[in-house]
Amino acid sequence: MQKLFILFGLCILFSCGNNTSDKLIVKGNIKGLKKGTVYLKRANDTSLITVDSMVVNGSSNFELQSEIESPEIFYLYLDKNDNEDNRIAFFADKGITEINTSRKRFYYDAKIKGSKQQEVFEEYLDVASKFNNNNLDLVKESFDAIKLNDTALIAKNEKAHKNLEKRKYLYTVNFAINNRDSEVAPYLALTDLYNANIKYLDMINDTLTSNVKASNYGKELQRFIDKIKKDEK
């Protein structure tokens, strides 16, 4: 009986020592990768820090880990010594995030399966990309109008640009409010609405659930709003 108790105690100790429920685990496959280094990074103030890395040699599979307090943006980097965009941003949470992509089109071929925040984030990015494409079209039209010295078309494009920018702001505000129970909401307020009218930031902040308010992004948004109001006095 004493041996059974000792064995049971060792099992508990072993399971506790290998508990990954409070960690972020990022794993997947990079098709076509023979050699290279994969990095897992996160934001630290205004810079990115590496929290884990893995040298790939032969197998294209990888697995990286990090401590994580609350859902936030992480970055998967691939060092393959070229000038291409080899960074993938994703919204991470505790548990497993799976990222499958290719060496040749590391960013563009990325398929991410993981947190519920990532699903919300991808929904936002899908619409935001359409706004960005429309903006690029307007920039091209404005450039052509300037070359032709067409003042009427220049004025028309400037007005269209302002309307597009306003529509994107309002869409982002509404999206954040509709997803008040997701950490994506304060993140968007901090990144895509940082220069918006304070009333929009207040609107989003006031609707956040208690859990989201207590997250890192929720606390950061509150500090950001407090600073703006203090500077305005």
Residue 15, pLDDT score: 44
- Residue 201: pLDDT over 90: yes
Q: Residue 4: what pLDDT?
A: 47
**Confidence grade of residue 21 (pLDDT, cut at 50, 70, 90):** low
Residue 144's pLDDT is: 85
Q: What is the pLDDT of residue 101?
A: 97
Tell me the CA distances in angstroms from 108 to 111, 186, 200, one per residue in order: 9, 26, 32
163-191 confidence digits (pLDDT tens) = 999 999 999 999 999 999 999 999 999 99
Token readout for 224 is: 């950001």
Domains defined for the chain, CATH in brackets: 2-114 (2.60.40.1120), 119-232 (no CATH)
Report the candidate in 172, 184, 228 with the shortest Cα–Cα distance to residue 209. Answer: 184
Pairing verdict, β 23-31 and 95-102: parallel
Cβ distance 212 to 218 under 8 Å? yes
Question: Which of 191, 194, 171 is CA-nearest to residue 124?
Answer: 171
Span 66-85, pLDDT tens digits: 999 999 999 999 987 666 66
Q: What is the pLDDT of residue 189?
A: 97
Position 83 scores a pLDDT of: 61
Are 28 and 98 contacting, i.e. CB atoms less than 8 angstroms apart? yes
For 176-195, letters b (16+ CB in 10 Å) and e give beebbebbbbbbbbbebbee
pLDDT at 13 (0 to 100)? 45
Percent of the chain scored above 90 by pLDDT? Answer: 69
pLDDT top residue among 3 and 155: 155
Tell me, what's the pLDDT at 8?
A: 46
